Structure 1
Amino acid sequence: MRVKWLLGILAVLLGLAYAQRTITIQAWTIGPDDPSITRFTNLQEAAERLNADLAKEGADFRVKVEGFFDTTDWDPYLRRVLLAFQSNQAPDIVQASAALSATWAAAGFIAPLDEYIPKYAQFEDVIPTLWDSVRFQGQIWGIPQDTEARPLYFNKTLLKQLGWSDAEIASLPERITNGEFTWDDVLKTAQEALEKGVIEPGKGYYHRPKNGPDFIQWYRSFGGRAFDPETGKLVFTKEAALRYFRWLKEAVDSGVLERDRLDGNWDRFHQNITDGKVLFFSGGTWNWAEWDQQWVADKGGQEWLFENFGFAPHPSYKKGGKPITLSNPQAYMVSANSPNKEIVVRLLAYTTVPELDGKHAVGSGHLPILKTTPETLDDRFTREVSYLLNFTTFQPAHADLSKWQDSFFRGVSAVESGDLSPEEAVEVVAAEMQRLLRDQVIIE
């Protein structure tokens, strides 16, 4: 009798243990900006919600999210991810630029998700165009995590010191939007500010201090093409690159742009901007959250930012031209070797809801990925900046995009440092792209 009782207790305990078995989902995420930590914590919160439903369903398992949120830099993070893919040690979920989905899909590192997505109604709320950012060769390779825009910011206080009226400052975004205010006007305004002592040398215009997707945006704003949809090949437009390189050279030579702007120092970038020293500066919507939380909190945070900074799309190089911004959506991608793809995608569906989407958007300065999220938000910056998506573009979905970007960046760097003339840089970039990309690039 006692044996039966013990066996019964053992059976119950084993049943409880079985019911509580845990599926651990490994997720690697990155900012590198601190406010984007919700890229990781939203997954953990989604797991709690999923577990509540699993309990109601009587499921025999629960989900736990482990991993990390990286705040160092993209290069070491992506090297770590690549090494993990190559050694078959990749986590279940990798968050990165949606543009990398093409490269990683071509290499067989990530799984296509088309068979899973229709199972979850949450994905129907995703802004339709964002699916294009993770589409490659007719399949979907990731779940959009956030999107953003990359504005041209301007310092309203410095423009006022230059003699601009409040009305002129307030109308600048509209004048850029309708093609009245061009890149040449940015340069001329900065040159005037320098001549009148409103700004210090080199503080007329700031762009990012290192390589990144933004350079495609600026090249496009000077009339360049980066991708040919008919052939599926990358494109390098020499005439547009020459226009951009000449603009950079004049900016450096006239003292508007620092010759060592590409010093890799993000702190110097943010410090001079938030100290109110820089007239025009290119950045991302997420920088607004960084400035608010990490750089000007003691000055008044968002109130100070709205008082001193304005934002607009980047202008065209010609009068009447169309302005531009760039969205580099982030995406959650699922490792091809993950043994839990079904439950991973379900977890991502629980992450793709307005409450978590809105928490990330407001907290990090990114833009929502869901159609219904803006209705739930009461955040001035998100409301006012979202119109930039009307002018947005995406990076080309091509497996060799990084080679194009690296080659183009070397041209930018050579021009700004004075090592090459704009004309020489164009030819060097064209030759390098032809050598590296061969039949995957069209030089025009």
Structure 2
Amino acid sequence: MMQRRTFLGGAAAVGALAGLGMLAGCTAAQRDPNQIRLWGVGGDSRPVEKKIIDAYGKVAPHVSVVNSTVPSNGTGDATSIITAVRGGTAPDLWYMDAFSCAQYASLGLLESITPLIEKYEDSTFLDQWLQFSTDSLSLNGQVYGLPMDTDTRVLYYNKRLLRAVGVDLDEFDPKNGPPTIERVLEISQKMTKKDGRGNYTRLGLIPWDGEAWAYTWSLGNQATFFDDSNCSIDLTAKPILDAYTFLYDQAREMDFGKVDAFKATYEPPNHPPAQTSFQGEQQGFLIAQPIVSSLEKYVPNLDYGYTYLPVAHKGDKPYTWSGGFSLVAPKGSSMTKEMWDFMKFYCGKPGQDIYMPAVHTVPTQRDVLKSTNPAIESLGLFVDQLKFSTSRPPFPVSQIWWDSMAQAQDSVKLGTKTPIEALETAQARVAPQMDLYCPFTLPKGFGGTGA
């Protein structure tokens, strides 16, 4: 599940960033060009990353990669990188959430890699990655990173629970297209059970759980989040308002407090990976990114499937969206040919061939996507959806935009604000921040269509 993010922003960030260029410039020239400092991945993926580094060592034995894992207070937390850039200790490369790239670049925390592309590569260099993945790493015509992995969102369903309420599983076969929201909610009502005190013991779809963000439903409504013609964000636009109204109505109908108590019982805060309400079969539907490897690890006997996200009307085209990670060069990076060659290896076909099958995430490099490796082929629908997927728009105020939408979602779930009140509050927070960066346009395909 995506966690709520924090970001050092506004006046505090501007003050913290004063003088970055001077400090960064001093240290880059003093570095050994044959040593690359990397802030890499953590957790279970770290041994896989070491295999990439070891493989590169065979290609370039004269280059050493010093790899560190830097703790963070959140996916969008910039504290560590601000401190490193100010102190002249930033790494050459940093593995980070691609969504944060545009905002970090707008604050002067990242180096543009466009000069390296222009110096060493041909005009088709970026074409080897999915377009939305490179678009998400660009700002004002400059590229600030190379994409690594990605994902797509799907609707998971419990086959046993569907059968128990008389549903033909063919109805949820992806070859039959996306199910409708109305049908999923209808089945969810049949799945729902309560104890003698009226507490939920089983639910179907919780429309705000997992990756079922209001943003997700807004995409399904064909929302456009930015107008290139006048450099504006309108969070009160009808497709977005309709998505928040849907969540507001569902939270009232289902009684948000009782749903919250249900989640606290079967999927409590800080729960172990094996303890979720979907894995425990207390929840029949879940919108999420690829969690297949986790399900296979913790509940190998769970009888489940997955299909496209629910749509408003039968026959509507499927939709989804993608996140992902990337390598970027923080301000003060050496920006050497040696660094660039390693960056290309890591994010290109050699690195993704090693990384993706092992960690069960979706590649962004087109040749790897065509791989006959069983681990890649098993991703099935997650890969098939890439042809119509998008990423969240790479705004220079991306974190403020996302946090404001998430706070609005919290308000409508709790019922403390109506949908329009919640979105007007979000708009009042985001719009003045965005105005500071105008004129501005998103990469082609975002501003005009929102996808």
Partner in structure 2 of residue 410 of structure 1: 407
Output one character per residue of 1:195-238: Cα deviation in whole Å (capped at 9) or x when no partner. 699x945732247768x895433322234222224445433243
Partner of 1:289: 293
Could you say which residue in structure 1 is the equivalent of 2:379? Answer: 382
The alpha-carbon distance between structure 1 residues 205 and 341, as it changes in their structure 2 partners (threshold 3 A), is farther
Specify the alignment match of 1:56 in structure 2. none
Q: Secondary structure at the match of 1:311?
A: strand
Q: Aligned-pair distance for 1:164?
A: 0.9
Distance 1:403 1:229, change over 3 A: same
Counterparts of 2:260 and 2:406, CA distance in 1: 15
How many Å apart are 1:375 and its aligned residue? 2.1
2:139/2:396 contact within 8 Å kept = no
Quick check: 131-140 or 110-119, which moved more?
110-119
Amino acid at match of 1:218: W
Q: For residue 174 of structure 1, what is the aligned residue in structure 2? A: 176
Identity of aligned residues (%): 18
Give the alignment partner of residue 424 of structure 2, picking from 423, 427, 435. Answer: 427
**Secondary structure of the equivalent of 1:153?**
strand
- Number of aligned residues: 394
Compared CA separation, residues 43 and 216, structure 1 to 2 (3 A): farther
Measured after TM superposition, the shift of residue 426 of structure 1 is 3.1
Instruction: Verify: 1:164 aligned to 2:167, yes or no.
Output: yes
Question: Who is 1:391 aligned against?
Answer: 388
Partner of 1:89: 89
Q: 1:129 to 1:111 in 2, by over 3 A?
A: same
> Which residue is equivalent to 1:220?
219
1:150 counterpart residue number: 153
Partner SS, residue 182 of structure 2: helix
* Residues 175 and 384 (structure 1), Cα distance of their counterparts in 2 relative to 1, 3 Å cut: closer
Q: Give the Å deviation of 1:132.
A: 1.8
1:5 paired residue number: none
- Cα separation, 2, equivalents of 1:225 and 1:237: 11
2:441 is aligned to none
Correspondence 1:51 to 2:60: yes
What's the TM-score, normalizing by structure 1?
0.76
CA distance in 2, matches of 1:131, 1:25: 23
Query: Following TM superposition, by how much is the alpha carbon of 1:247 offset from its aligned partner in structure 2, in angstroms?
Result: 2.0
Query: What do you get for the CA RMSD once the two structures are aligned?
Result: 3.5
1:111 is matched with: 111
Q: Who is 1:350 aligned against? A: 345
Distance 1:213 1:97 in 2: 19
What is the match of residue 278 of structure 1?
283
Corresponding residue SS for 1:394: coil
The aligned runs of 1:4-153 (5 Å cut-off) are 23-30=34-41, 34-37=43-46, 40-52=49-61, 61-68=62-69, 74-75=74-75, 78-117=78-117, 119=120, 125-153=128-156
User: Could you tell me which amino acid in structure 2 is paired with residue 113 of structure 1?
Assistant: I
- Distance apart, 1:399 and its partner CA: 0.8
Shift of 1:276: 2.0
The equivalent residue for 2:29 is: none
Partner of 1:338: 333
User: How far has the Cα of 1:387 moved from its partner?
Assistant: 0.8
**Residue 247 (str. 1) matches residue 261 (str. 2):** no
Shift in CA distance, 394/76, structure 1 to aligned 2, threshold 3 Å: closer
The answer to whether the aligner puts 1:321 opposite 2:316 as a matched pair is: yes
Give the 3-state SS of the residue equivalent to 2:63 in structure 1: strand
- Once residues 316 and 80 of structure 2 are traced to their aligned partners in structure 1, the CA distance between those partners, rounded to angstroms, is 42
Q: Contact between 2:102 and 2:394, CA under 8 Å: does it hold in 1?
A: yes
Greater helix fraction, Structure 1 or Structure 2: 1
Letter in 2 for 1:219: S
Unaligned runs of 5+ in 1: 1-20, 53-60
Checking the alignment, whether the CA contact within 8 Å between 2:56 and 2:342 is kept in structure 1 is yes
User: Which residue is equivalent to 2:7?
Assistant: none
Checking the alignment, whether the CA contact within 8 Å between 2:70 and 2:80 is kept in structure 1 is no
Q: Tell me the equivalent position of 1:185.
A: 183
Report how far residue 289 of structure 1 moved.
2.3
Determine helix, strand or coil for the equivalent of 2:110: coil
Deviation at 1:409, TM superposition (A): 0.9
Cα shift at 1:136 = 1.6
Contact kept? 2:48, 2:358, Cα under 8 Å: no
Structure 1: how far apart are the matches of 2:100 and 2:117? 20
CA 239–406 in structure 1, closer or farther in 2 if over 3 Å, else same = same
Q: 1:382 to 1:259 in 2, by over 3 A?
A: same
Corresponding residue for residue 269 of structure 2: 265
CA distance in 1, matches of 2:78, 2:205: 29
Structure 1 residues 435 and 202, CA gap change in structure 2 (3 angstroms): farther
* Higher mean displacement: 309-318 or 259-268: 259-268
Is the 2:38–2:65 Cα contact (8 Å) retained in structure 1? Answer: no
Distance change in 2, residues 1:292/1:230 (3 Å): farther
Alpha-carbon contact 2:157-2:285 (below 8 Å) kept: yes
Q: CA deviation at 1:147?
A: 1.5
Give the Cα–Cα distance (whole angstroms) in 1 for the partners of residues 141 and 67 of structure 2: 32
Equivalent residue of 2:380, what SS? helix
